[in-house]
Amino acid sequence: MVWAEGKRYRIHDRSVFGTPDITNKSKRVAVFIDGCFWHGCPKCYTEPKTNTKFWRDKIARNRERRKKVKTQLKKGNWKILQFWEHQVDLNCEKISQKIADFL
């Protein structure tokens, strides 16, 4: 939908710190769409009943890494958009328009 709006970007560009889901280097825009399970969404996340310690630690590391990535990108004057997976699923048009507005 964003591409159809005429906005140009790259997905998973490894040359950008943190490998955001969507980036536009010239406009310094980074978009992250966080998986509800992998990043521990407060609305959707249900902790697994097995191997609980592993998953708690894994989610905590994912969250901590995202904080570091955002801090580093902000130091480089990047604009950052972050959405949860369920937000995109429920409001795809609205989210894509927000992304397009930034690009």
The answer, as to whether pTM is greater than 0.75, is: yes
Amino acid letter at 93? E
Question: 3-state DSSP call for residue 31?
Answer: strand
Structural domain that includes position 57: 3-102
State yes or no: pLDDT of 1 exceeds 90: no
Question: 3-state DSSP call for residue 11?
Answer: strand
What is the reported pLDDT for 4? 87
User: What is the number of structural domains in the chain?
Assistant: 1
Sheet of strand 10-11, all strands in order from the earlier edge strand to the far edge: 10-11, 22-24, 29-34, 79-84
CATH number of the domain to which 44 belongs: 3.40.960.10
Reported as half-sphere exposure (CB side, CA atoms, 13 A), residue 97 has a value of: 4
